[in-house]
Copies of this chain bind each other. A is one copy, B any other.
Amino acid sequence: MTTGDVAAAPRSYTVVGPGGIGGTYGGRLHAAGFDMRFLGRSDVPTLRDEGLVLESVWGDVRTGPLGAAASEDPVALGPSDVVLVCLKTTENRQLVDLLPPLVRPGTIVVMMQNGLGVEEIAEAVVGGTDDVTVLGGLCFVCSTKVAPGHVRHIDYGRVTIGEWRSGYGASGITDAVRVVSDDLAAAGCPVAPQESLGVARWKKLVWNVPYNGLSVVLRAGTDELMADPDTRALVRDLMMEVWRGAEACGHGFDESFVEQMLTDTEQMTPYAPSMRLDFDAGRPMEVDAIYAAPLAAAAAAGAELPKVEALWRQLRFLDAAHR
């Protein structure tokens, strides 16, 4: 962070969940001079005593020992200007305990998560606090934690950010969106401020719904799903259902986006979606945020998404069988 004003303290950020996403953006913000805190569990001893190591296509970052800025205890960390929630959505039940000590009036909470409806969870926990603003952040990034306190960012990295409104009503580009977007841009991260978080989230679902679920159910990578004419057709059908769901919910966008996603994915490096990595590692899958919430929203708007629903049922079965 460069500023000519020596009196201005750098903005404070707390990263909740220093995994692949939290480590990537937290590491970049640290390198840019922001006042960074990390709320974690298994990573905390390493972060405290040795620091965060981020290997990144944007350049590597080594924070050095973080000391008291890494903790398992949100009360010890206290409130900051911005809280980046980088947990898996399957961990969101923890937010009722983790989030309140991290906010004060004026804090911006950014839900850096997949799926739909995750901002409502933050709103329910800290929305009663005056002047807490809830944003959604969608990360188009390939990064994974390879060891405690050690994150590898191998490709992409753009973040789209929008402010949450009840029912995902369009907010326009708000002050809070501008603040966080500018900070991430200052840290060298590509950002795309969004006028409508609802549209942004449904657009991301166009990718997440087919590739995450089918990669698990069929044990296949994005390249295999695109090379086979049957799964390519099924991917497209699932995307079109998501597109219709978005339309029904009032978050519509141009249909050409679907063809663009198909083409982009064909040109991507073969990639195992996050749900596949979770499944293979025996972790819970983000089935609620990526499937149940959009299906419920679409159903409430009168839209049936039968192929998405069938995939959701299959994933629920596999998720339950896994435990």
Tell me whether A317 and B233 are in contact in the complex, defined as CB-CB below 8 angstroms, given that A307-B309, A310-B311 are known contacts.
Answer: no
A237 at the interface (CB under 8 A from B): yes
B234/A318 in contact, CB under 8 A: no
Are B310's CB and A220's CB within 8 A?
A: no
A310 contact from B228, B234, B316, B318, Cβ within 8 A: B234
A320 part of interface (Cβ distance < 8 Å): yes
14 A-B Cβ contacts within 8 A? A217-B314, A218-B314, A220-B317, A228-B320, A230-B313, A230-B316, A230-B320, A231-B317, A234-B313, A237-B306, A238-B310, A306-B306, A307-B309, A310-B311
Check A9 for interface membership: any CB of B closer than 8 A: no
B residues in contact with A316, CB < 8 Å: 228, 230
A216-248 interface bits toward B, Cβ cutoff 8 Å, 1 = contact, 0 = none = 011010001100101101100110000000000
- Chain B residues with Cβ below 8 Å from A224 are 321
User: Interface residues of A: mostly helix, strand, loop or mixed?
Assistant: helix
Chain A residues near B (Cβ < 8 Å): 214, 217-218, 220, 224-225, 228, 230-231, 233-234, 237-238, 306-307, 309-314, 316-318, 320-321
A313, B231: Cβ atoms closer than 8 Å: yes
Contact of A313 among B233, B313, B320 (CB under 8 A): B233
Neighbouring B residues of A237 by C-beta, 8 Å: 306, 309-310, 313
